[in-house]
Chain A
Amino acid sequence: MMSHPVSVFGFAAGEDMLVAASSHGLLASVDGGATWESVGDVSLPVHAVLTFAGQTSPDVIVTGGPAGVQRSENGGVCWLTSLTGSPITTLAGDRDRSGAGIVLAGTEADGVFRSDDGGVHWVSSSAGLFDLEALTIALSPSFPIDNTAFLGSATGLYRSRNGGRAWRSLQLPGAESAVQCLAIAPDFRETGALLAGTENDGLVRSADGGASWATVASFDRSGVDALIWSHVNPRLVIAATADGIGRSVDAGETWTHVDIPAPVIALAEAVTSSGTVVLAGLFEGGSLRSTDGALTWQPVEIQLEREQA
């Protein structure tokens, strides 16, 4: 096993495995995130990853990176490039539909692209965006019904209520700040609750589907790099900042802080055969794993190359 200063940018849960987007390509884990191995080329960074239940395979994997969007229908064995151009920064997809599905890809400089066949074909979908630097996209938990998605950009936040075909700017408190991450409550359809993490203005919260926003005063960090809202424990929200993890057990009202040795840039929750895990991607620090709802963290093993016999 060789160790590298790997940055992990994002995670996705497949049918039988977890996948991670990293500076050294795509990683996969079959033991609930305890250990990870490379899938494919380690020289090409992957910035975002998404999985679907496919019609012919358990996992259709869609990745985004500097080379655009790649897609695999056989768990990462073979890949097809389906979108090129501006580097991909974020992916969001509707996993409820097998085979075909809506996928939104955010780019560094060309706004958003939309696919309605699980990432095979793409069309530009940036109507209403002031700036074309997309940083994060999140779909409503009830996206098949409400067609609602949110997009964080370098200059603010947008909402779409037609499946990503058009976007409207949302007014956040304070001066214009990049919106770097989003977390939508599992009961969003009933409560309209969601959180947005900004670059300079901390955490902001909406309770009406994004129409209005207020700063979360109890969150005392200025920058938020990643967010997740637990679907297993709907009161648990976890935020990643430059110096660690923020944890709330009251749906974002109050926060406690956990120090982490390296900047956390990605968060994910996964339900595995051994229970619910929370995964943290670090900048040049690999990944951490928690089995107690982000209270304590353990390093994970990342194997980029197989040992020579």
Chain B
Amino acid sequence: MKICDELRQAVLQAAIQGKLTRQHKEDGDARDLLKQIEEEKAQLIKEKKIKNDKSLLPVSEEELLEIPDTWACVRVGKAFNLQAGKNINSSEISQIYTEGSYPCFGGNGLRGYVKKYNTEGHFPIIGRQGALCGNINLAYGKFYATEHAVVVTVFAGINSNFVALFMEALNFNQYATATAQPGLSVAKIDTVVFPLPPLAEQQRIVAKVDKLMAEIDELEKVENELIALKEAFPGDMKAALLQAAMQGKLTTQRKEDGNAKELLKQITEEKARLVKEGKLKKEKPLAEIGEDEIPFDIPENWEWVRLSQIVYNNGQAKPEDKFCYIDIGSIDNKNQRLASENNVIEASKAPSRARKIVKFGDILYSTVRPYLHNMCIIDREFPLTPIASTGFAVLSCFEGILNSYLFRCLMSPSFDDYANDNENSKGVAYPAINDEKLYKALIPLPPLAEQERIVAKLDKLLPLVDGLVEAQLMYDSLKETLQTGFGKTILAALITALGKAIYDSFSAWCVVVYLVVVILIYWRLRIYDKRRTEKQFNQNLNDYLNMMK
């Protein structure tokens, strides 16, 4: 739960206990105010304008609330007059306000606008139907209340804003019937005990709560930003690591690795050989890599290459026998892994998209919505021939290209930028990258040995990001506990309870146990000290930094 939400509850709680205000003698006694209410009500009851409240029992000793001396405890039905509105056909309610229509209040506040009204004035309204029943709204002027909206009439000059505030604090929802459609009866609300301060103090409470709530709203903005910051961090961190890896910043460049130019030459020769042997199709010559295409600087012994220079295509085939079908559903896109179950399909029932030939070690990259990272490496054998959907690009790496390196590349932010760029992803409703664009994509190519080091480093670092998140969560929950004082409250309660036990029994053993427990508790508290958790978190970060050097 957010600190702000807890604070709001705490403020309301303190308000109805008279802890937000000072009690002044000159405010008078709320019991006098009660008398005034009784007199006003008696007159109106006599005139049959409001319902009779005689049936309500006086507040018993056990029901008395903890309130200041100048306040009074009174049942809601005695202090106010509660009256539910009248049913209205939902067809009469319009969602749009038009000239001459009136707001219509139902069980959850404003329902819409209607052409007639049944109440006029300034009233708190209690919603009495639905999961949110007990919710409080304020209505002004002429409005229509449905049978699910309980209109609260106030007396003796009491302010409706004050009543709404206290009713919210009393949380009527706790009295709702535990049925599928929770509800509150007026009779039930009538019996709830209401703490009533003198008039002047009511005003001060409202002013004070308004001020505090405004501050809490400000606090909430900060808290929301903090939450968003923390939520975004693991993703940002992973992206940053992948990006740094692709720039050669996670690894040192070693002379003995040689350079990617030689590697590329070998691959090109190999390709030419395969074309000559008829194993590969001859490709159109590639466009030179333009200066403005290059997204970032790479180390000197690396090369920028187009994807098509380092991978080849297995081609397509129509399934002629039972086969294992790999489609987007076969991929766990949280972990970018291939699912362990096989989707076995008869050749006769093969979907028209089941065409792509797949080998062990190939990379499957979904060309539809590339940002979803529906991709995997074929890292296991299949009981039957695997065939992939044409929604994938199937990439087989030439020797000298580590499939796990290329895989990380395809996941990196700069590749995502390219693949999800509107110019490259055709069709806004169905963004996809076509094969031509995909194979033209630029890949930063390090020598083989460095590819291996990059993958090893990322394998070490990426899981650590999750570790960081765990440490973060622990830190947060503890900090929150300490901030809200919840931990301290428990502690104080324990110490008090034990102290009482000792007082009662007065045995030497109890004293010893008491002292040991107190010491233990303080020791625990020290361990959970917020600074320590903070330190631990920062330590984690440092380990992290060191590892990257």
| A and B are interacting partners | no
**Which residues from chain A sit less than 8 Å from chain B, CB to CB?**
none
**Which residues from chain B sit less than 8 Å from chain A, CB to CB?**
none
